[in-house]
Amino acid sequence: MRRWLALLVAATTSLVLIALLVPMALLIRAVAENGAVVRATTAAESVAVAVGTPELELTVARVSLPLTVFLPGGRTLGRPVEPSDAVRLAQTGRSLTAEAPGGREVLVSARSSEGTAVIRVFVGDAELLKGVPQAWLALLVLGVGLVALGIVLADRLARAVTTPIAGLAGVSHRLAGGDLAARATPGGPPEVRSVALALNHLAGRIDDLLAAERESVADLSHRLRTPLTGLRLDAEALRDPAEAARIAERVDALERAVSAVITEARQRSAERASCDAAAVVADRVLFWSVLAEDQEREVTLELDAGPLPVAVGAAELAACVDALLGNVFAHTPEGTAFGVRLSPGVSLTVWDAGPGFSPEFLERGTSGAGSTGLGLDIARRTAASFAVTRAPDGGAQVSLTLTPA
């Protein structure tokens, strides 16, 4: 756009300057030629006054211009030249100006007692155009300068319009990429500022809607995991093993479906947020400690005092911790100890003293009697790096590395 505006202004300015400067250049040339002819005519007339007087030769000698006096009888004074057709015409009593090789000749006829004399003053092309090239050069420099000034002003005007528009495009791309904190800086013409304010309002509205959705998803996650864990424990307490296995399988299917819905909703509403990992982990461990006390589970908590800012939303990190701790309660017997460690790295580790796991339980959506399974996919999506190993006491250990904010 800047290039097109510059070309438009250059073309428009050039047309205006051509329409103005060309007639001015021709006028300057005409004025210079008229001035030279007037000076030559004045000199010729001053000599014509002295025709027929003894001062004629002295007057001719005083004229600095190339001058020739054709006297009656064929005599000449001044610069000797051959008489031209114009000179012969002037001898009839007419004063005139005629073109001559290399310039012009100004002819003034003067009558005397002896007949008609003709005073010829030659004006060369150099004299006719004296000062014209310098004036034309000045006009050319002026025209080029005005065109350049117009282009510079057009470029600044275009930049004042295109820079805010480019900023709006950048903000829209950032919003499309998931950076909901991106905002445009209003600037430029009133119309562009209005678009920037509208885009900021739209981004804020989207952010509010997604925040409400995230809160609903987080609330759904927290509300459903504990009842599902309780339902699984009730199923395991049944005396009929076949009935217990059948109900546990249904609970597994329900938990997988709920987790899939929550995960999908969280993916749609994800944003580049941050939180204090120490505060979130401490809150979720405190939440699960109540159930751990009921099941006589020993809880080991190694938590850095913080704050430990990470590039993960609080609701997302809470769902990750809930998934890992929910697996511990779901896949280990009551009374099994577990622990949570959060180091300044920022590294989160959850381990238990249960029976451990089998490799097939590490696939997404797989559940079973081991100590890992359903919640691993949520944890894997939350962390920058993810590893499942055996704990030092033989149970399962899940290690996550979170991205620092």
Compute the 3-state secondary structure of the chain and give helix, strand, coil in percent, each to the nearest 5: 55, 15, 25
Which tops the pLDDT comparison, 124 or 403? 124
Flag the least confident range among 160-174, 242-256, 260-274, 342-356. 260-274
pTM of the model: 0.47
Contact 261, 255 (CB under 8 A): no
- Rounded CA gap, 76 and 198, in Å? 93
Tens digits of residue pLDDT in 290-324: 888 888 889 888 888 778 888 888 878 888 888 88
Q: Kindly tell me if the per-residue pLDDT of 44 is higher than 50.
A: yes
Q: What is the DSSP letter of 359?
A: G
Flag the least confident range among 212-226, 258-272, 376-390. 258-272
Closest listed residue to residue 40, CA positions, set 60, 66, 58:
66
Beta strands in 18-59 (DSSP E): none
- Rounded CA gap, 48 and 58, in Å? 13
In terms of Cβ atoms closer than 10 Å to its own Cβ (0-12, 13-18, 19+), residue 43 is: buried
pLDDT bin (cut points 50, 70, 90) of residue 365 is very low
Residue extent(s) of CATH 3.30.565.10 domains in the chain: 206-401
Beta strands in 266-332 (DSSP E): 275-276, 299-303, 309-310
Contact 168, 203 (CB under 8 A): no
Q: How far is CA 77 from the centre of its chain?
A: 81
Q: What is the DSSP letter of 404?
A: B
Tens digits of residue pLDDT in 48-107: 888 888 888 888 888 888 999 998 888 889 888 888 999 889 988 889 999 999 999 999
Contact 386, 380 (CB under 8 A): yes
Helix (H) or strand (E) holding 280: helix 277-294
Which tops the pLDDT comparison, 238 or 166? 166
At the topology level, CATH places domain 206-401 in Heat Shock Protein 90 (3.30.565)
